[in-house]
Structure 1
Amino acid sequence: MCIKQIKRRMAGLSALIFTFMSLSAEAKIEQFQESYTGYLPMEYSLDGVYYVGEHTFSNGSATLTLYYEALSLLQDQLYVVFGSYSRNQGLSLPLGQFDFSLSAPDPITPPDPAFNALPIAGSFYFQDILMMPDGQLEVFYSEFGLLKGFLSPQNALSFTIDWTIYTRDRRTLVPAPPTTWLFGTGLIFLAWVAFRRQRQAPAWPIANMHF
C-alpha cells in the first residue's frame, strides 16, 4: 500500500514539473501583411543628399510612423532610408528599428529613375526584453517585418510588409522553479510522510516481551 502511495505522489510530482516546464514554451505567434502607399518627404536636407524627417503612413486600419534619416541620390542609384518606427502608437512607447533601400541595383544597365519604378527592400525589427525575478533576461514581445515595394519616378512609395509578431504567455513572467528544486522538495515531502508513519506505528508493549 505504501509503495502505491509513493508511486502516486511521484506521478503527481512529475506532472507538476511538466506543467512548469511547458509554461515556458507557450507563446502566441501572429503573421499578417500590411500595405501602404504615400510620399516620404525629402524636405529637411543638410547637403542636398542627406535628409531627416518624420512621416506617418496609413492604410485605413493601421498606421506606420517613420522617424527617418535618408540618403537620396537616385541618378546614382543611391536611396537608403533608416531610423526608428512605431506601429499604431506614439513616441511615448518603445520604438523599433528599420531600414530599406534600393534592391539589387544593376551597375551595368541601371534603370532610369525618371521613367522606371525602382524596387526597394528592407526590414523592421522590435524586441521587448524584460528582466525576470530570477535576474534572467527574457524576450516577452518581438516583431519582425520584411518590406518589399517600389519607388516611383514621382518619389511615391508603395510597399508591403510581411509581419511576424511573437507574444509570450504572461504566465511565464513568473519563472518556473528549477526541476532540481521541485524534485528535492518532493523527496523531502516523501521522507516526512514516511517519518510520520513510523511515529504513528504502534509500539510493542513491554509486558509481552519475554527474556
Structure 2
Amino acid sequence: MINIIKKGLLLCALLVSAQAEAKVVAFQESFSGYFSRDIVVDAGWFQGQTNFVYKQSTLSTQYDLIDDGTGLFLLFGTFNRTDQSTNLNGYFDISLFSEDLNNPPDPWLYPDIPVSVWANFYAEESFIDPATGDIVRQTVLSGVGKGLLAQREYLSLNVDWLLSTSDTVSTVPAPPVTWLFATGLLMIGGLRLYKRN
C-alpha cells in the first residue's frame, strides 16, 4: 500500500512540476526563383542574395554558389524566414541530388534538362532570462527540401518544415508542488505509525 502511494505521489509531482511545454508544428512551403550571381569571387565561385515568397512567408537568402562547369554545384549560406508569427535566422545548403552517386547529374552538359536538388535548413533561437541566465524559450526550425534546378539558375523547391517551440519554467519547485510532496511524506509517515499500532 505504501509503495503504491509513493508511486502515485511521485507521478503527481512529476506531472505538476513539468519543466517544459513543447509545441511542434509541421508544414510545407514551395519556393521558386533565380539564384543570382551578383559577385564573382573566383572562377566558378559566386556570391549573391535572393528573396523567395510563398503566401505570407518570405525566405531571404545570402549565399555562396560554387558552379565550376564540371558538374559540381553547391549553394550554402544564411537564410531568414519570416511570416506573421515567426522571424528566424539560420543556415542552409543546396546540392545536386542523384540516385547514382557514381554518375551525378551534370547541369552544364544538359542545361535544358532540370536536375534534382536536395536542401537542408536549420535555425535556432533562444531567449534567456537576464536575471537568472536560464533559457526561458527556445525555437528550432528545421527543413528538408527537394526540387529542380533549371539552367543552373532557376530553382523550384518544396520544403518540409518542422517548427518546435518550448517554454521552460524555473527549476525551483513551485510552492504547490512542495506542499504536495510534504503532504505525501506526512501521509506515508502517518501510515507507518498506524501500521505499527
Normalised TM-score (structure 1): 0.67
User: Counterpart in 1 of 2:155?
Assistant: 157
Please give the residue correspondences for 1:12-31 in structure 2 after superposition, counting only pairs within 5 Å: 15-21=12-18, 23-24=19-20, 26-31=21-26
TM alignment of 1:1-211, pairs within 5 A: 15-21=12-18, 23-24=19-20, 26-73=21-68, 75-88=69-82, 95-104=89-98, 107-108=102-103, 110-111=105-106, 112-131=109-128, 140-153=138-151, 155-168=153-166, 170=167, 172-177=168-173, 182=178, 186=182, 190=186
Greater strand content: 2
Cα 1:190/1:86, change in 2 over 3 Å? same
The 3-state SS of whatever aligns with 2:17 is helix
Residue type matched to 1:53 in 2? G
SS of 1:113 mapped into structure 2: coil
Q: C-alpha separation between the residues in 1 aligned to 2:48 and 2:78?
A: 11
Q: Greater helix percent: which structure?
A: 1
Identify if the C-alpha distance between structure 1 residues 152 and 17 changes in structure 2 by more than 3 Å, giving closer, same or farther: closer
Using a 3 Å threshold, how does the CA distance of structure 1 residues 76 and 41 change in structure 2: closer, same or farther? same
Structure 1 contact 33–163 (Cα < 8 Å) conserved: yes
Summarize deviations over 1:2-57 as a string: whole Å, max 9, x none. xxxxxx9xx77863553113x52x21110000001110101211223111122111
TM-score by length of 2: 0.71
- CA change 1:122–1:108 in 2 (3 A) is closer
State how far apart, in whole Å, the 1-side matches of 2:9 and 2:105 are. 69
Match of 1:198 in 2: none
Please tell me the residue identity of whatever aligns with 2:97: S
Q: How far did 1:82 drift?
A: 0.8
1:122·1:147 contact (CA, 8 Å) conserved in 2? yes
Name the CA shift for 1:175/1:115 in 2 (closer, same or farther; >3 Å). same
d(CA) in 2 for partners of 1:158 and 1:175?
46
Say which SS state the counterpart of residue 16 (structure 2) adopts. helix
Query: How big is the alpha-carbon RMSD for the aligned residues of Structure 1 and Structure 2?
Result: 3.6
1:136–1:61 distance in 2 versus 1, CA, 3 Å: closer
One-letter amino acid matched to 2:66:
L
1:114-136 CA-to-partner distances (Å, cap 9, x unmatched) read: 23111110200011234467656
Aligned residues: 174
Counterpart amino acid of residue 157 in structure 1: L
In our comparison, the structure showing a higher alpha carbon Rg is: 1
What per-residue deviation string (whole Å, max 9, x for no partner) do you get for residues 68-101 of structure 1? Answer: 111112x311111111111117xxx662111111
Q: Percent identity?
A: 24
